[in-house]
Amino acid sequence: MALKDFIPNNKSTQDFVPIKEIKNGVVILKDGSLRAVVMVSSLNFGLKSDDEKVAIISAFQNFLNSIDFTIQISIQSRRLNIEPYLQTLRDRMAEQTNELLKVQIREYIEFIRFYTDHQNVMTKTFFVVVSYEPALIAGGERGFLSKIFNSQKANSKSAIINEFDQNVAQLNQRTNVIKSGLSRMGLVSAVLGTEELIELYFKLFNPGENDAPASSNNGSTAEAK
């Protein structure tokens, strides 16, 4: 038996990627639902006083209780690439005229390289994924009543665009709620744009690659074919 006999309908790898399109800073899934990704700063909880820890935990509890929709908290851990920093130090050393400072910079570079080679230095990035799902049934079709009463409207291109804008507006409202709740905990957050989303998901699906590909359409849209 050939390998293709074990793969249902000869599906390609992209068939297993749930993303249909990334447009105007919004991730559109194949089932029609929308996602926004918020990058969040971190804080060193261990260095906080007992009162501060209690306040942070209480704020986080209130934050979770204040939302009535689904979110996903994602943490990415990657080995820290120290090479750009070392190259900056080498450039500074080459520009240095003081021989003593050159020696000190060289020893510092050797120390950093030795430490990172023998320690698993990781960098962590925190995200909150905000979701909005229009009324859907299995297979991504519209709700039954909506399909009956709005059959003519659904055929209009302008109506489809207007519906998408309304869904994005609902998603943005949820995103603002998340950002406000994070702010009350002293966390800084920012919503990822199209270019940043393309880079994020490219690295997720291609963990061995260092750079994301250049996007088309001036970065306004990225579509999975």
Q: What is the pLDDT of residue 150?
A: 54
- Residue 11 pLDDT more than 80? no
Q: What is the pLDDT of residues 148-205, one digit of tens each?
A: 455 555 455 566 667 888 889 999 999 999 999 898 888 899 999 999 998 888 888 8
Query: At 132, phi and psi to the nearest 5?
Result: -145, 125
Q: Based on the domain organization, do 142 and 92 belong to the same domain? A: no
Confidence band of 215 (pLDDT split at 50, 70, 90): very low
Q: Based on the domain organization, do 112 and 176 belong to the same domain? A: no
The pair of structure tokens assigned to 180 is 């406000």
**Residue 199 maps to a domain:** no
DSSP state of 214: P
Which domain, by its residues, includes 55?
A: 36-79+125-192
Q: What is the pLDDT of residue 35?
A: 93
**Residue 45 maps to a domain:** yes
Q: What is the pLDDT of residues 54-80, one digit of tens each?
A: 988 998 898 889 898 989 999 888 777
**Residue 111 maps to a domain:** yes
Whether residue 21 contacts residue 221, with contact meaning beta carbons closer than 8 Å, is answered with yes
Q: Based on the domain organization, do 176 and 105 belong to the same domain? A: no
* Count: domains in the chain: 2
**Residue 19 maps to a domain:** no
Q: What is the pLDDT of residue 3?
A: 43
The CATH number of whichever domain residue 188 belongs to comes to 3.30.70
